[in-house]
Amino acid sequence: MQNPQHELRELESLLAFYRDAGVDCFLGDAPVDWQEHTRRQAADRQLQSTPASPSAAAGEPVSIPAHNPPAAAPLRQQAPASPAQVAPQGQPAVIPDREIIASARDLAASAATLDDLRACLEAFDGCNLKLTAKKLVFSDGNPQARLMFVGEAPGRDEDLQGKPFVGRSGQLLDRMLAAIGLDRSSTYIANVVPWRPPGNRTPTPQETEICKPFIKRQIELVNPDVLVFLGAASAKNLLGVQDGIRKMRGRWMSYPVAQREIAAIATYHPAYLLRSPLEKRLSWRDFLSIRSRLSSQ
The contact set with ligand URA (CB under 6 A) reads 151-155, 158, 164-165, 169, 191, 271
For residue 93, give the nearest of 210, 237, 215, 192 by alpha carbon: 210
Angle at the Cα of 249 from the Cα atoms of 174 and 187, rounded to 5 degrees: 30
Give the nearer residue to ligand URA in terms of CB position, either 85 or 132. 132
Alpha-carbon span 171 to 193, nearest angstrom = 20
Shortest distance in whole angstroms from residue 4 CB to ligand URA: 39
Alpha-carbon span 120 to 129, nearest angstrom = 16
Give the nearer residue to ligand URA in terms of CB position, either 76 or 249. 249
Give the nearer residue to ligand URA in terms of CB position, either 153 or 211. 153
The one-letter amino acid code at 184 reads: R
Shortest distance in whole angstroms from residue 158 CB to ligand URA: 4
Give the nearer residue to ligand URA in terms of CB position, either 145 or 271. 271
Shortest distance in whole angstroms from residue 165 CB to ligand URA: 4
Shortest distance in whole angstroms from residue 169 CB to ligand URA: 5
Alpha-carbon span 105 to 102, nearest angstrom = 5
For residue 204, give the nearest of 38, 40, 85, 68 by alpha carbon: 85
Beta strands in 107-252 (DSSP E): 140-141, 147-151, 187-191, 226-230
Give the nearer residue to ligand URA in terms of CB position, either 93 or 150. 150
Beta strands in the chain (DSSP E): 140-141, 147-151, 187-191, 226-230, 253-256, 261-267
